[in-house]
Chains A and B, each alone.
Chain A
Amino acid sequence: MTELLKIDLRRVLKDKLLIVVGILAATFALITPILYVVLFGSQDMMDDPMIANLITAKSQFFQNFSMGNNLGLIAPVLLAIVLCKDFSFGTVRNKIIAGKSRTSIYLSLFTVCSVTLIAAMLLSSFLTLGVSLIFFDYQPTDFTGSDFVYFLVSLALEILVLIFMAALLSWLCAVAKNVGTVIVLYVAISFGLVMIGSITQVVIGLFDMLGGSETVLKIVQFVDRINIGNFAVYIGMGTEYSVKDILYLTISPAFGILFFTTLGLLKFNKRDLK
């Protein structure tokens, strides 16, 4: 497994697409806060508590992790291209012929995917934080007596979401026959989750205004809370977490990671390779 991790990490680091990811990370970090200033910078807008909540350096930092946003969408797509090269170049054959088990090949792919995705997103988010601090306040959150704890808990939750994204991506790489299919399916699933999140938010808003069946509302709220595509609304936005919040934000991606990794391992262990 160590040998596999070493070569998978080396091939990812040697890929020029990683430079593209770096450039995009820096570009988004610079552009996003400026766009927020241009779009929502007026006093009228700032008076709206929802928008004011978005325009803090801290929320900018955590918004950057969203799977439907900027780098949150592009980084996995670029990473899919890099990871799938093992299949398109046929180099995965070398690993099997070298006697490595398919399980360790898959787990190495998943680990490297997670590490690279986390590194790229952290780089981008910390750059965003740096640029945002020029324009916005940080606005600390008092959580268990410390904003630092709030920051760390939020970051851990975001990293869990990133690992979920890596699990989804690795599964797709193991299932799909070419990189094009991987990208299309990944984007469709990500957008699907984000879209479902938007719909549930609107429905919940409508229930607030117009009322309706309690059971339906509870179902919609449950879907809203377990939907990973909607986690950007909850993580790091300055609202303190309840135990229930943390359970929702933890169990859902953890289940997704387990589900896709198991599915990917089962498929990859049975798959005929070209």
Chain B
Amino acid sequence: MGNVLSTNLLTKKYKKHFAVNGVNMNIEQGDIYGFVGENGSGKTTVIRLITGLIYPYSGDFKLFGVDNNSKGIGKARSRVGAIVESPSIYMNMSAYDNLKMQCALLGVKNEDKILNVLNDVGLGHLYGEKKHASDFSLGMRQRLGIAMALLGDPELLILDEPMNGLDPAGIVEIRELILKLNHERNITFLISSHILTELSLVATKYGIISKGKIIKEITAEQLHNECTKTTLICADDIEQLYKVVTEVLPQNKIEITEKGVKIIGDINYNFVLSAIINAGIQILNVQYSETSFEEYYLKVIGGANND
């Protein structure tokens, strides 16, 4: 897998305030990178830096292997599609005209693509419609923005808060579109959002940013392990308990603790508890706990803020 984006101590300073401070992040080809952070944490500033809308104070980044200070960065950037903060559309034009303008900008000759991308984002009914974008709902504008970003067949699609303003059905459609584009066209995504549960349904990797710094980069698998359900069974004979549990739950991760045995992941309680009782072990206590993505995020952010 090739490296699509890597930043090296990327910093942006406004007067005395560091909006982004020494950000290091890596996005591999095919990743759906969930960029998570509270409001004002620096997500949009990082995206603006990558898309060339603002200049770094210090640090650099490589986009498709091209250094941001080299002449080839423009060409590398043309392989990117993006929505930064809000969709960049001409409000006094129709969806079709907006896409036609984007075709002209990107040098896309085949105008059949307009209908294709409109269909992709669920706005096919707007093809040929003269209604201006100013009359669209926020969700429709968001979809039109995504359609425009898709016109140039981007290899990296940067979506800043793409679920903003979308109704539940729209959120599902956009989520499915992201997954479809990722699977079928191998498009890499950088998606910023503060709707963590939504992000957790698509992302394969996460970058958690707080106060302008990336405090954690974690894969979906690692996050799953961190956030998964755990069951702690306390018994009189912990060693015997461990032996029984490992026998009946060969797929689960099992750890011995001071009080008992900790089982990570989903289990069939009736089956496990029956096996323990049948082995003659006296169960003292059963504790179930589950860490959600939100809890994990708050824990990470809290830890970083305490440092």
A residues near B, CB below 8 A? 3-4, 6-7, 10-11, 14-16, 85, 89-101, 270, 272-274
Contacts of B55 in A (CB 8 A): 270, 272
Contacts of A6 in B (CB 8 A): 104
Contacts of A100 in B (CB 8 A): 74, 105
CB within 8 A of A94: which of B54, B76, B88, B92?
A: B88
Q: Please, what's the 1-or-0 string for B169-197, where 1 marks a CB less than 8 Å from any CB in chain A?
A: 00000000000000000000000000000
Task: Check A95 against B105 for contact (C-beta < 8 Å).
Answer: yes
Contacts of A7 in B (CB 8 A): 101, 104-105
**What is the interface of chain A mostly: helix, strand, loop, or mixed?**
helix
Nearest Cβ distance between residue A95 and chain B, in whole angstroms?
6
Q: B69-115: which residues lie under 8 A (CB-CB) from chain A?
A: 74-78, 80-82, 84-86, 88-93, 97, 101-102, 104-107
User: In whole angstroms, how far apart are the Cα atoms of A147 and B84 in the complex?
Assistant: 57
Q: Known A89-B89, A272-B54, A273-B54; judge A10-B101 contact (CB<8 A).
A: yes
Task: Check B75 against A89 for contact (C-beta < 8 Å).
Answer: no
Q: Known A6-B104, A273-B54; judge A93-B88 contact (CB<8 A).
A: yes
User: In whole angstroms, how far apart are the Cα atoms of A118 and B186 in the complex?
Assistant: 48
Task: Check A91 against B88 for contact (C-beta < 8 Å).
Answer: yes
Task: Check A99 against B74 for contact (C-beta < 8 Å).
Answer: yes
Contacts of B1 in A (CB 8 A): none
User: In whole angstroms, how far apart are the Cα atoms of A108 and B52 in the complex?
Assistant: 19
Contacts of B84 in A (CB 8 A): 90, 93, 97
Q: B102-142: which residues lie under 8 A (CB-CB) from chain A?
A: 102, 104-107
Contacts of A89 in B (CB 8 A): 88-91
Interface residue B150 (Cβ < 8 Å from any Cβ of A): no
Contacts of A274 in B (CB 8 A): 53, 85
Would you list the 4 A-B pairs with minimal beta carbon distance, nearest first?
Answer: A99-B78, A99-B74, A272-B54, A90-B88
Q: Known A96-B77, A99-B78; judge A16-B104 contact (CB<8 A).
A: no
Task: Check A93 against B104 for contact (C-beta < 8 Å).
Answer: no
Nearest Cβ distance between residue B42 and chain A, in whole angstroms?
14
Task: Check B74 against A101 for contact (C-beta < 8 Å).
Answer: yes
Task: Check A85 against B92 for contact (C-beta < 8 Å).
Answer: yes
User: In whole angstroms, how far apart are the Cα atoms of A274 and B88 in the complex?
Assistant: 11
CB within 8 A of B53: which of A3, A85, A272?
A: A272
User: In whole angstroms, how far apart are the Cα atoms of A93 and B106 in the complex?
Assistant: 13
Interface residue B6 (Cβ < 8 Å from any Cβ of A): no
Query: Nearest A residue to B87 by beta-carbon distance?
Result: A90
Contacts of B152 in A (CB 8 A): 98
User: In whole angstroms, how far apart are the Cα atoms of A136 and B54 in the complex?
Assistant: 57
Query: Nearest B residue to A102 by beta-carbon distance?
Result: B52
Contacts of B86 in A (CB 8 A): 90
Starting from the known contacts A15-B92, A90-B86, 9 additional A-B residue pairs (CB-CB under 8 Å) come to A7-B105, A90-B85, A90-B88, A91-B90, A93-B53, A96-B52, A98-B152, A100-B74, A272-B54
Name 15 interchain pairs, CB-CB below 8 A, sorted by A: A4-B105, A89-B89, A90-B86, A90-B88, A93-B84, A94-B148, A97-B81, A97-B84, A98-B105, A98-B152, A100-B105, A270-B55, A272-B53, A274-B53, A274-B85
Task: Check A10 against B104 for contact (C-beta < 8 Å).
Answer: yes
Q: Known A94-B105, A98-B105; judge A14-B93 contact (CB<8 A).
A: yes
User: In whole angstroms, how far apart are the Cα atoms of A34 and B17 in the complex?
Assistant: 61
Interface residue B51 (Cβ < 8 Å from any Cβ of A): yes
Nearest Cβ distance between residue B162 and chain A, in whole angstroms?
15
Contacts of A270 in B (CB 8 A): 55
Nearest Cβ distance between residue B255 and chain A, in whole angstroms?
48
CB within 8 A of B89: which of A15, A91, A95?
A: A91
Contacts of A96 in B (CB 8 A): 51-53, 77
Contacts of B81 in A (CB 8 A): 97
Contacts of B101 in A (CB 8 A): 7, 10-11, 91
Task: Check A11 against B52 for contact (C-beta < 8 Å).
Answer: no
Most buried by B among A15, A97, A98, A272: A97
Contacts of B97 in A (CB 8 A): 14
Nearest Cβ distance between residue A196 and chain B, in whole angstroms?
37
User: In whole angstroms, how far apart are the Cα atoms of A6 and B55 in the complex?
Assistant: 27
Contacts of B74 in A (CB 8 A): 99-101
Task: Check B105 against A3 for contact (C-beta < 8 Å).
Answer: yes
Contacts of A93 in B (CB 8 A): 51, 53, 82, 84, 88
Query: Nearest A residue to B98 by beta-carbon distance?
Result: A91
Nearest Cβ distance between residue B54 and chain A, in whole angstroms?
4
Task: Check A273 against B88 for contact (C-beta < 8 Å).
Answer: no
CB within 8 A of B106: which of A15, A91, A98?
A: A98
Nearest Cβ distance between residue A7 and chain B, in whole angstroms?
5
Contacts of B107 in A (CB 8 A): 3
Nearest Cβ distance between residue A180 and chain B, in whole angstroms?
18
Nearest Cβ distance between residue B64 and chain A, in whole angstroms?
11
